[in-house]
């Protein structure tokens, strides 16, 4: 594509974005990241995933973005690197331990974890402080990690469902092990309360367990028997704390929502329009419930677009789902030549409090912070 044509497309999108976003900030990292993890309401961690040495950075969001009133009074609109360090290998998973300045990473190559001190006021260096051994599996694969929401720093981790364990950071002691024989590799691991966690397997089955008991976990079987398909999962205790919904997305675009209280049943389903040639195998699909918007989920990893869906519109029968909103920024702004690899969104996260603010990162090193306008409310029409 001619440079001028390409600029034109970007210009068109810029004008369009004035209407579709309340805020949009576009940044460029030197190296792309596959991880985005909040370390506070204003800071986020990113890290490179090249084969050898990589940077791990803690970035401070521009004040201008976060101010609600007096937005115009904040001069700073740049992402500032507040802390940084180096890793020896790629970073495929990064979790912040709440209430601490500690983070835990995994390189996607083995099940071992690296422990980091993110630095404080007196130092801007992110240092490696230790490691946690994971159970070896054959073949070797990377671990998923989850941090216990409260209490003393503990991480849940494992590369496959039978290897999931809870480790205390300070002592390295293993406090809990998931009792199951299955060797299904994991695609997600997360706590839905202080002791209850979900382990989502690549084959689509989801296990629910409680770290307080050694009783076997509950199992929700995979929605599909197709072995070629990979699944990703996210759970959220929404809209009510007592209920927990689990969403599963497959690499073929099938989506299933179930209620944790009724794991055998299917709440609702949908089919996402997943374009061929389809997703890049290097890039994980990320699916995430919105922290404050009921029934909203976001999906990325199939292309250079982040899609937001209103699941309230979905029914028991799978129908093609139309996104409520699409963030096309990464796709539009990446320059493509014929032989280049298309840009993929590598990760995205919702802001924990601001209802419509998200961060997204792509394979070209871009990081966007955006606050989208709900198109249903744009013209002042009543919310569904």
Partner 1 sequence: MTCIKRLFSKGPRSKVAWLIGEALTSCRCFHAELVRSLSDDLNKVKYFFSLERRSGCIIKLTFFISQVRHESSALPVVHHSKYVCDLAPNHRFPMGKFPRVLQCLLRDQVITEKQVWVPEIASKDLLSCVHTEDYLDNFINGKISEQEQRRTGFPWSEGIVRRCRYETGGTVLAAEVALQRGLACSTAGGTHHAFPSYGSGFCLLNDLAVAAKYMMDNSPTKRKVLIVDLDVHQGDGTAFIFKEEPSVFTFSVHCGKNFPLRKQQSDLDISVEDGLEDKDYLSTVEAHLPWLLETFCPDLVLYDAGVDPHWEDELGRLRLTDQGLYQRDLFVLKTVVKRGVPIAAVIGGGYSRDIDRLALRHSIVHRAATQVWRECGM
**Interface residues toward partner 1, by CB under 8 A:** 4, 7-8, 10-12, 14-16, 18-19, 71-73, 75, 373, 378-380
Which CB, 143 or 334, lies closer to partner 1? 334
Which CB, 71 or 261, lies closer to partner 1? 71
Cβ partners under 8 Å of residue 384, min gap 6 = 310, 312, 313, 376
Which CB, 18 or 138, lies closer to partner 1? 18
Which CB, 72 or 225, lies closer to partner 1? 72
Least spacing, CB of residue 305 vs partner 1, in Å: 19
**DSSP track, 223-290:** S---TT--EEEEEE--SSTT--EEEEEETTSEEEEEETTBTTS--EEEE--PPSS---TTS--EEEE-
Task: List the one residue out of 243, 265, 245, 247 whose CA is nearest residue 256.
Answer: 247
Least spacing, CB of residue 72 vs partner 1, in Å: 4
Contact 153, 115 (CB under 8 A): no
Contact 143, 167 (CB under 8 A): no
Cβ count near 230 (within 10 Å): 19
Which CB, 72 or 242, lies closer to partner 1? 72
CB crowding 260-290: b at 16 or more within 10 Å, else e = beebeebbbbbebebeeeebbeebbbbbbbb
Least spacing, CB of residue 28 vs partner 1, in Å: 11
How many residues does this entry show for the chain?
384
| Rounded Cα distance, 318 and 273, in Å | 12
Which CB, 4 or 138, lies closer to partner 1? 4
Least spacing, CB of residue 295 vs partner 1, in Å: 23
Least spacing, CB of residue 354 vs partner 1, in Å: 16
Contact 39, 103 (CB under 8 A): yes
Task: List the one residue out of 168, 167, 177, 262 whose CA is nearest residue 217.
Answer: 177
Least spacing, CB of residue 11 vs partner 1, in Å: 5
Q: Compute the CA torsion angle 47, 52, 53, 56 (nearest 10 deg).
A: 10
Which CB, 13 or 86, lies closer to partner 1? 13
Which CB, 16 or 140, lies closer to partner 1? 16
Least spacing, CB of residue 61 vs partner 1, in Å: 16
**DSSP track, 172-186:** --EEEE------PBE
Least spacing, CB of residue 19 vs partner 1, in Å: 6
Strands 357-362 and 366-372: antiparallel
Which CB, 67 or 125, lies closer to partner 1? 67
Least spacing, CB of residue 167 vs partner 1, in Å: 45
């Amino acid at each position: 594509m001619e440079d001028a044509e390409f600029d034109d497309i970007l210009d068109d999108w810029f004008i369009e974005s004035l209407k579709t976003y309340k805020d949009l900030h576009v940044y460029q990292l030197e190296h792309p990241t596959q991880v985005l993890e909040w370390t506070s309401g204003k800071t986020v961690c990113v890290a490179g995933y090249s084969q050898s040495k990589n940077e791990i950075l803690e970035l401070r969001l521009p004040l201008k973005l976060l101010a609600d009133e007096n937005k115009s009074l904040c001069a700073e609109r740049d992402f500032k690197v507040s802390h940084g360090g180096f890793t020896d290998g790629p970073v495929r998973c990064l979790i912040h331990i709440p209430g601490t300045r500690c983070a835990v990473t995994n390189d996607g190559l083995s099940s071992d974890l690296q422990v980091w001190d993110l630095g404080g006021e007196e130092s801007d260096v992110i240092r490696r402080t230790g490691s946690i051994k994971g159970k070896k599996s054959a073949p070797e694969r990377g671990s998923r990690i989850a941090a216990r929401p409260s209490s003393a720093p503990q991480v849940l981790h494992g590369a496959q469902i039978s290897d999931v364990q809870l480790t205390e950071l300070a002592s390295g002691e293993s406090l809990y092990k998931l009792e199951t024989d299955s060797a299904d590799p994991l695609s997600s691991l997360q706590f839905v309360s202080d002791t209850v966690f979900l382990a989502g397997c690549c084959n689509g089955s989801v296990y629910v367990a409680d770290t307080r008991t050694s009783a076997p976990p509950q199992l929700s079987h995979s929605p599909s028997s197709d072995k070629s398909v990979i699944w990703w999962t996210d759970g959220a205790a929404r809209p009510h704390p007592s209920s927990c919904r689990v969403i599963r997305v497959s690499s073929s675009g099938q989506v299933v929502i179930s209620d944790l209280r009724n794991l055998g049943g299917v709440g609702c389903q949908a089919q996402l329009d997943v374009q061929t040639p389809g997703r890049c195998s290097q890039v994980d699909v990320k699916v995430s419930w919105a922290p404050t918007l009921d029934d909203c989920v976001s999906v990325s990893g199939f292309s250079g677009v982040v899609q937001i869906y209103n699941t309230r519109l979905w029914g028991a029968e799978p129908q093609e789902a139309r996104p409520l909103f699409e963030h096309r920024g990464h796709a539009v702004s990446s320059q493509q030549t014929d032989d280049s690899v298309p840009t993929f969104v590598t990760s995205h996260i919702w802001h924990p409090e601001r209802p419509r603010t998200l961060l997204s990162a792509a394979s070209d090193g871009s990081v966007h912070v955006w606050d989208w306008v709900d198109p249903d409310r744009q013209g002042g029409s009543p919310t569904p």
